Amino acid sequence: MGKNDQEGMGISNSIRTLRFLHDEMTQKQLAEQIGVTRQTVMAIESNKYSPTLEVAFKIAEVFNLPLEEVFRYRSDK
């Protein structure tokens, strides 16, 4: 995961921006809505942790956006 980030690959997201655009939603508020801890939201935001598919869909649902507009996958291909 960390290695992928350094090489510019892996999963990235725009959660921080989306929270800001949604009335400056806090990490805690988002965490409560998707059923994880604030630390997990923080880890996802900083690309240190890839969420499960279920959590990813829940995050997209909170922002009312399709999954690919919240998460992006960059490969070396």
Partner 1 sequence: MTNKQKLYQWLQETSFREVTLSVDFLVTAYIFYIYLSRMYYASAEELASTVWLSGVLLEIIIYSVVLMVLSYIVLAFVSDDELNQPMDVREKQIDLVGYKYSAMILQVGVILAIVQYGLDKQAETILFEPIPHLPLHILLVAFLTAELAHYGVQLYKGRTGEIYG
In which element (H, E) is residue 52 found? none
CB atoms within 10 A of CB 70: 19
Examine residue 2 and tell whether it contacts partner 1 (CB under 8 A).
yes
* Both structure tokens of 16: 């921080």
Examine residue 20 and tell whether it contacts partner 1 (CB under 8 A).
no
Tell the smallest beta-carbon distance from residue 18 to partner 1 (Å).
Answer: 20
Angle at Cα 71 formed by Cα 25 and Cα 60, nearest 5°?
Answer: 50
Tell the smallest beta-carbon distance from residue 38 to partner 1 (Å).
Answer: 7
For residues 76 and 6, is the Cβ–Cβ distance under 8 A? no
Examine residue 57 and tell whether it contacts partner 1 (CB under 8 A).
no
Binding mask 24-43 vs partner 1 (x if CB under 8 A, - otherwise)?
-----------xxxxxx-xx
Residues forming contacts to partner 1 in the complex (CB under 8 A) are 1-2, 35-40, 42-43, 46, 48-49, 52, 55
